[in-house]
Amino acid sequence: MKTEYTGSCFFQKYFLVFPTFVFLISYISTSAQSLNDTIRIKEVTVSEKYTPDITGLKILTLDSSVLSNNISSDLSQLLSENTTLFIKNYGPGRAATSSFRGAGANHTQVLWNGININSSMLGQSDFNLIPVFFADDISLYHGGAALSNNSGALGGSINIINKPDWSKKTTIGFMQTAGSYGSYGSYVSAGFGNNNFQSRTRIFYNYSENNFKYKLYDGAADETNRNADYFKTGIMQELYYKLNEKNIFSAVFWTDRNNNNLPGQQGNEKNNSDFIRTYIEWTHIQEKFTITTRSSFIYNYMNYIKKEIDVDSRNTEYVFTNFAEFKYHISQNFKFVSGITMNNFKVISNNYDTTSYPPNFFSHFPLQYDTTTYSIPSQKEIIQNSTRYRNTLSASSGINIILFKERLQTLIMFKQEISDKEFIPLIPSFGIDYKIFKTKDLHLKANVSRNYHLPSLNDLYWDTGDAFGNPNLVPEDGYFAESGLHYVLKTKNENHQITAEVTGFYSGIKNNITWFQITPATWSVTNLKEVVSKGTEVILKYSGKTAGWKYDINCNYAYTDAKNIIAINESDNSAGKQLTYVPFHNFNTNIRVSWKRFYFNYAYSFTGKRFRYSDNSWYLPPYILADITVGKIFNFKNYSVAVQGIAANILDRDYQVVAGYPMMRRNFSVAVKVGFNK
C-alpha cells in the first residue's frame, strides 16, 4: 500500500514557495555582484560559531570523512555507528531517540545552528527525520553543563552546523542510491557565490517499501514487515553575505515532509509529519568583542491515525525564538560572555482537554452524535480548548580565565531562567582544562554543574481518556560531575596521530518525570523517581598515511550504570535496578582505509543487554552488527564520479533494539555520486 499525504495546509502552501523565492533572489544578487566585482573584502572566519561554553566538557566532533561516508544516512544510524550514544530505534520508518549517559530521550537537546529543535510537545527529536546530507558539522557535548544555549540537557546535546565555504564559486552535486526492500534515495546540491556571498540549496527524497523479513524470537517462523512503506523529502536553502570584514548575515530555511505507514495486516495505521525551520542571523566582529543575534521560527505538524480505534491525532506547534550573545575579550587572559534567549511556544492539539467533546469528535471518519447529549462546540471553542502556550526567558553570564601561559583555562557560568513568570533556581557551572606538561598535549578536564529540565507540554496537558498529563509537575533537577584525560600524540612529520580520551562521569536527577499506570487501562505522570548514573567513556583514534595509503581507526566504548533510587510505591521493584533500555556496555569501531582513489570502511558495533521492565525481570539479548563499504572515486577535469556499495548487517542477525520492533537482516545498497566544481 502506497503512502498518502494528509499534511497541513500551512505546509502545502509554503513548501516550495519560500525556497524558490530565495533561490531567485540569491541568483540575482550573485549575478549582479559578478558583473562588477571590484570590492575586495578580507575573509572573516568565525571559529566559535554556535559553540557553547565547553571548558572541561567531553566533546566528540564527527569529522568530514565520517559525514561523507554516511551522507545518505539519517542521524540515528550515524550516531549508533560512530558514538557511544544508545539509539533507541523502533525500526525503519519509525521513531529513533537517544540516551546520553543513561538519561532519557527528552534529556538530549538537539541544536541546529544554535537553535533548539526539540518538540515542545514531546520534549525530544526523532533522529530518523534528520538527514546527514543536511549537516556540515556535527558535535556532541556530553553532560548537562553547556548552559549558554542549552537548557534542559540533563544527558547531553547534539549540535548540527551549517556553514559556508567562501572559497567555492559554483558546485553541483547529485547522488542516487538504490537498496534492498525497494529502497531508493535521490540527493541534489547546488551552490554558487564569491568571496562575499554564498548560496547553497540541498534537496533529498527517500522512499522504501520496507518489506523485510524477520523473526520475533528464536524458533519463530519468518514474518514480513507489511504495509510499512514510507517516504521522506526535504529542502534546505542557505544564504550567507559579508557586508564587510566586520559584519556577516545569514538566512537558512529547512523544510521536511514525512509519511510513514506503520506495519500491520490492514495498513490502517500511519504517522505523518511536516516541519519548517528557518532563521536569520547577524554577527558583528570587532578586535575586542563579538555580537551575535539570531531570530528563528519553527513550525511542526504531526498527524497519527489508527482507523481500528478511530484515532486521528492532530498536533500543530509554532515556536518563535530570539537570541543575542555578547563576547568581550577583557584582556588576553580574560573573556566575558553573556547571552539572552526568549522563546514563545504555541501548541494546538486535539489531545489536550478533549473531555467536553463527543467521543471521537476529532476523528475524520463519519460518525453520528446524539446532539441532545452533546453540545457541538464551535471552531473557536475547539481552538481555545486545544491550545497551550509556554513563554520562557533565560539569561546567562560567564567568565573564561586563562592562566599559566595558556596551560590552564577555567570557565564560571551562571544561568537564570523564567518559565511562564516562574523563576527556576539559579543554574551554575564550573569547568577547567589544564595542560599537564608544557611539551606534551595531555590535558586534564573537569566540570561540575547543575541543570533543570522543564516538563514537556504533553506531560502537563495530555488528556485522551486513557492517559492524563499533570499540570502540577515541577522541573527535573540535575547535578553533574565529570573528569577525564585527553591526549594527542603526533609524529614530527604529522603523518601519524593518536588521540586517546578517558572520562568518568556522575549525575543525579531528582523529581524525575515518570509515567505510570493508575489502573490497568489508564496512565498518568508525576515527579517520582530519583535517578543516579555513573560510568566511564573511552575514545581511541588513529590516523596515518604512508606510501599513498591512508588509515583511520576510531574506537568508542561506554560503561553506564544508571539506576532508579526510589520506588514509586510498595509494589514497585525498580529501586536499585538498571533503567530500562540503558545497556551497561556499548562499543563500536570504524576502520577506514584508502589507496589512491579506492576506499574501504568496516563498521562494527556491540550493544549490551537492555532491560525491558523496570524490575529487570526480562531483557533483550546483546547484539553485534557489522557493515562493509567499498568505493572508488573517478576524477576528471571539472567533475568527479564516485561509485559505492554497502553491505549492512553482514552477519545477518535477527535483532531488536526495542522489544517488538524488529530490524533489518542483511541488506545491500549502491550509490553513484556526481560532483561538478567550477
The gap from C-alpha 283 to its chain's centroid, in whole angstroms, comes to 25
Alpha carbon distances (Å) from 354 to 14, 146, 372, 479, 481 = 30, 38, 19, 37, 43
The gap from C-alpha 262 to its chain's centroid, in whole angstroms, comes to 23
Residue 364 confidence (pLDDT): 37
Question: DSSP of 407-419, one letter per residue?
Answer: TEEEEEEEEEEEE
Pairwise CA distance, residues 137 & 78, whole Å: 12
Which conformational region is residue 64 in: left (phi greater than 0), alpha (psi within -120 to 50 degrees), or beta?
Answer: alpha
Question: DSSP of 231-297, one letter per residue?
Answer: EEEEEEEEEEEEEETTEEEEEEEEEEEEEEEPP-SS--EEEEEEEEEEEEEEEEE-SSEEEEEEEEE
Residue 385 confidence (pLDDT): 77
Cβ atoms within 10 Å, residue 128: 24
Pairwise CA distance, residues 238 & 46, whole Å: 17
Pick the more confident residue, 348 or 567: 348
Q: What is the pLDDT of residues 635-677, one digit of tens each?
A: 998 899 999 999 999 999 999 999 999 999 999 999 999 998 7
Alpha carbon distances (Å) from 267 to 49, 93, 140, 207, 211 = 46, 14, 38, 17, 13
Residue 217 confidence (pLDDT): 84
Mean pLDDT of 335-355: 88
Provide the pLDDT confidence category of residue 375 given band limits of 50, 70 and 90.
Answer: low
Residue with cell 492532530: 314
Cell of 512: 524525575
Question: C-alpha dihedral over 517, 523, 527, 532, to 10 degrees?
Answer: 60
Pairwise CA distance, residues 72 & 184, whole Å: 10
CA angle 86, 90, 95 (to 5 degrees): 90
Pick the more confident residue, 677 or 33: 677
The correct answer on CATH 2.40.170.20 for the domain covering 9-677 is yes
Pick the more confident residue, 13 or 516: 516
Q: Hey, what amino acid is at 146?
A: A
Give domain limits for the chain: 9-677
| C-alpha gyration radius of the chain | 25
Mean pLDDT of 291-315: 92
Mean per-residue pLDDT over the chain, rounded: 86
Pairwise CA distance, residues 447 & 52, whole Å: 14
Q: Which of 249-263, 281-295, 370-384, 474-488 has the lowest mean pLDDT?
A: 370-384
Pairwise CA distance, residues 410 & 433, whole Å: 6
Pairwise CA distance, residues 288 & 293, whole Å: 17
Q: Long-range contacts for 519-524 (Cβ within 8 Å, ≥24 apart)?
A: 521/466, 522/466, 522/467, 522/468, 523/466, 523/467, 523/468, 524/467, 524/468, 524/469, 524/470
3-state DSSP: the chain helix, strand, coil percent, rounded to 5?
A: 10, 55, 35
Q: What is the pLDDT of residues 212-269, one digit of tens each?
A: 999 988 888 999 998 899 999 999 999 999 999 899 999 999 999 999 998 875 668 8
